[in-house]
Amino acid sequence: MQTEPRRKERTMKTSREMELLLERMPVGRLAVMTADGPYVIAVNYLFFEGGIYFHSGQAGRKMEALRSDSRVCFLVDDVGPQVIFEQGCGISQIYESVVCFGKAEVVEGPIEKMLILEKMVQKFVPENNALPPMKDQNIEKTAVVKIVVESMSGKANVLSPSHTVLLNRFHVQK
């Protein structure tokens, strides 16, 4: 299903803009289809060489859903402050978001699996933290899933000098 965005001026113009957000954010939301209907879960992830990777236990609702239907939707967003806006209800939200559609596949090769897990650790753990090596039995119990991205779109409402930031209970002014 392709639809045209209503606010075309907020559409991210290049795939690189979308990739930068995917590289920067730590958590995304994975949407899968279960027998009971849609299921969305937040996951830590890695955007690497055009694919989105996350790890999971081998069993559970998410993995069961992926095994029965590999189609997924993945969302990342960076939510900023609210600002005064001359239209609508008088305020607007500053944000960037990317939505990806694709197919999930379990990474089976032990070398690729280890590479992705190491890169995920590098993304989240500062370099100066010495961590023990990953244990083989832990790696075997861990599923690594790659989302092969088939399409993505992005939107942004970027903070500008003309905006007046509103203090609210969700964001502290920086």
Task: Sketch the domain layout of the chain as residue ranges.
Answer: 8-166
**What does the DSSP assignment read for 53-104?**
EEEEESSSHHHHHHHH--EEEEEEEEEEEEEE-SSTTSEEEEEEEEEEEEEE
* pLDDT tens per residue across span 14-35: 999 999 999 999 999 999 999 9
Class of domain 8-166: mainly beta
pTM for the predicted model, two decimal places = 0.88
**What is the spatial distance between Cα 169 and Cα 53, in angstroms, rounded to a whole number?**
33
Considering the chain, what is the average pLDDT of its residues?
A: 89
DSSP code for 132: P
